[in-house]
Amino acid sequence: MTEKKAKSERPKVQVLYKQKTSGSKRNISPAQLKRKQEAQARATKTSPLMKWKKSDSFFYRGLYKIINGVWIGVVAVGSFIAWLISFLLF
């Protein structure tokens, strides 16, 4: 009985703002729901290279390492050329 009395004696707090919620699926239009589902499907998709990286096959893991090494080399050379051009132009 004292608990009920203690709860009722608490001062009431005025709410200054309410948190906005996205709502339930009932409030989302079918087009928005479809776009949301497609975005979730794209987010969970893995690329073939990531599958090759974790593959049990030596061939696919080796191919991944070759492609990855070549790509790192291309990026390094491109970055160096961009660095040189920045010194020449500025």
Tell me if 71 sits within 8 A of 79, measured CB to CB: no
Give pLDDT, residue 38. Answer: 87
Buried b (16+ CB within 10 A) or exposed e, 77-87: eeeeeeeeeee
Give pLDDT, residue 41. Answer: 83
24: tokens are 């339930």
Specify the DSSP class assigned to residue 14.
P
36: tokens are 């949301």
Confirm whether 52 is domain-assigned: yes
Query: Running along the chain, 90 residues long, what does each successive block of 10 average in pLDDT?
Result: 59 58 63 85 82 90 94 97 90
Range of the structural domain that residue 79 is part of: 48-90
Confirm whether 13 is domain-assigned: no
Confirm whether 14 is domain-assigned: no
Confirm whether 80 is domain-assigned: yes
Confirm whether 56 is domain-assigned: yes
Tell me if 76 sits within 8 A of 64, measured CB to CB: no
Counted domains in the chain = 1
Place of tokens 């948190």: 19
45: Cβ–Cβ under 8 A, 6 or more apart, which residues? none
